[in-house]
Structure 1
C-alpha cells in the first residue's frame, strides 16, 4: 500500500484553504476562456511535468463547486505547430484556495501541442483555460467495491478519485506504464490494491496487457463500479470485458478515452 502525506478531502479535489466550504461558490454555468499564469514547475518523472497556475480568474474559478468534483477537468488552449490555438483536456490535480492556484500534471507521451507547450513552459508564461467540464466520478452510496483502470495519462484522475473514497472501500487499481520511473508513491485505501503493469513495447501502441491483468482478477462479490480511462481502443475493449465477463451494467462503468493511437487531435 502506498500513502501520501496529504489527508484525503471528502468529495473534492485536494484543497488547501482556511475554510474551504465557506469559500465555495455556486456552479458557474458559462465557460469563457480565462487567463492563467504559470507560477511553478516541477519535473515529476522523465515524462511527467506538474505546472501550477494562478491569477485573479483562477482564484475565482477554483471556488466554483463544480470544479472541485473528483476527476473533473478543464480545457487548456495552447498553440499548435502551425500557430493555430487548439484545446486540450486536463484533469485538475489539486488547488489551493488560500493561494488562488490549481495544479495540472502533463504526461508528455507524444509530440502534440500540449506536450510541446508543457515541455517548454516556464514560470511567468500565460495560457487560457475554460471549464469546469464534466468528467468527474461519483461513487454510488451502495457500492461495495471499485476498480480503477488506466495508463500514465490517467494518473492524476486516479489519484484524485482515490483521495476521495471511503478509506475502507475494497477494490483494485490497475495502471499500465512504459517507464518504471512513473512508479511514484501515492495514497490508496487500506483495502485497495495497487498493481503496476509494465508495457512491453511501444507506448503508443495498444495491447491487451490491462485486459489480461483484469481477466486474472477475481471479481469481488456484491455491487461494484468501474472507472476506465486511457487509450480509446483499449478503453472500449475493457468496457466490453466488464460488461460481458463481469456482467456490470453500463451505469456501473464510467469510461473516457484520453487519447487514441496515431491520432494527434483526438477528441473523445
Structure 2
C-alpha cells in the first residue's frame, strides 16, 4: 500500500500492444466510445519476449495511446522485458486515457474520448473506423478502492467521466459517495449504474467554455459535509481544481494523504498535434544530461519532505521550512539553493515561491505520488540501481531502500 494515500497499489510490467478497433459509438453527443480488441490483450510472444496479459484493476488507470503525425506511421517505443525503450531520436505522440470497461474473457476494452474541436486524440476518435489498428501501453500500476474511510467525495468534469463511471460501477455495494460532475450541456449526462449509496449531482456550463467556470468549486463549498473520514478524488481542468484543493485543505481540514486531485488537462496549454525531435546537443553536454541523477533525487527529496506543499501554503522562509519539515537547516538551505538553480523554486525576498514546474507537482496528486520516495513508483525507479545484478544473474533488481523485495504482479 502506498504511504501517500489509503489506496492499495499493485504494479505491472509495461507492455506495448497492437490492437484493433472493434466498434465506435457515441455515448452522448459529447462523448465517443472506442472499443478495442485483439490477441495482444492476452499473453503473447514478440521479439523473443513472453509478455503478460493486460491487467487493469483500478478505476482511474492510465493507458497510453500512440498517435500518428499526419500520414506517417506513429513513433513507437521499443519493448524491454518489463518496460518500454523510448526512442532518443524522435518523440512519440502519446496521450493517457482511462479504460471505462475491460472484459478479459470477451477480449474487449472500452475507452471514451471527449468530443471537441482540435486535439490529436479527439481527432483520431472522430475519424477512426472498425478494423483499423492502434497501439497502447500500460497501465503500469493500479490503485485500488480507498480503505479505512467512511465516505467518498468525487469531483470531475467530462474528462474525468470515464474514471468516475467505472468507479461507480465497481464501488462496493452501500459505499457512501457524493459525486459532482460538470458537463457542457444537459444532453451530455450519462447513465451511471452503481450499487453504491451515491448521490450524483450534474452541473452544466450551458455554453460557457470548458475549464472556464467555478461550478464544481461552488458545488463543493455549498454541499452538506458528511460525518466521518472522507477520501476525495478530483480530476479535470488543472486551474479550476486549485480553489477546490485550497477549500478542502484550509477550510475542511482534509489531509493531503486522503486526497487525489489531478489536473487531466490545462485550458491555457495547446494540445500538441505533432512530435518534435530533440535538438542536437554537444556530446559532452548530452552525456551529462543523460546521466545526471541529482535533479531527480533533489525533486523527490523535496516532495517527500512536503517542501513544495509548504511553499504553496505560504511557508517560504528557510528557518520555518526546516522546522516544519524536520530537516537540518543548513542542509535544507543547500537543497533550496539547488531547487532555485534548476527552476523548481524562485527566490522571493527572504523566502521562496513556486514556479510553473513545481506548481504542476502540487496541483497534480498523481505526479506528487509518483515522485514521493515512499511510494511504489519510487521503489521501481530505485530498483534500477540493481540493474547490473539483473544483467549478471537474471535475478530481479526490485528492492526497497531497506532491502526488501517490492511486490509486483
Corresponding residue for residue 130 of structure 2: 123
Match of 2:191 among 185, 196, 206: 185
**Does 2:153 align with 1:170?**
no
Displacement, 1:213?
Answer: 0.7
Show the counterpart of 2:114.
Answer: 107
> SS of 2:240's equivalent?
helix
* Higher Cα radius of gyration: 2
Q: Deviation digits for residues 199-241 of structure 1, max 9, x if unmatched?
A: 1443334221111111111211111111000001112221121
**1:164 Cα offset (Å):** 2.2
Question: Does 2:73 match 1:90?
Answer: no
Distance 1:201 1:245 in 2: 31
1:76 aligns with 2:65: yes
Q: Which structure 1 residue ranges, 4+ long, deviate > 6 Å from structure 2? A: none
Larger strand fraction of residues: 1
SS of 2:139's partner is strand
**Does 1:243 pair with 2:226?**
no
Q: Secondary structure at the match of 1:168?
A: coil
2:290 corresponds in structure 1 to none
Unaligned runs of 5+ in 1: 1-10, 12-25
Tell me if the contact between 2:185 and 2:207 (Cα under 8 Å) persists in the aligned partners.
Answer: no
- Give the helix-richer structure, 1 or 2: 2
Alignment of 1:134-213 (within 5 A): 134=141, 136-140=143-147, 142-189=148-195, 191-213=197-219
C-alpha contact 2:16 2:136 (8 A) present in aligned 1:
yes
Aligned residues: 241
Aligned-pair RMSD on alpha carbons?
2.4
Aligned to 1:22: none
1:138-161 deviations in Å (ceiling 9; x for gaps): 312x21110100011111100111
Q: Structure 2 vs 1, CA of residues 184 and 135 (structure 1 numbering), >3 Å: closer, same or farther?
A: same
- For the residue of structure 1 that corresponds to 2:153, the secondary structure is strand
Q: How does 1:50-61 map to 2 (within 5 A)?
A: 50-60=33-43
Using structure 2 for the length normalisation, give the TM-score. Answer: 0.55
- Say which of 22, 30, 36 aligns to 2:19: 36
Between the two structures, name the one with larger relative contact order (CA 8 Å, sep ≥ 6): 1
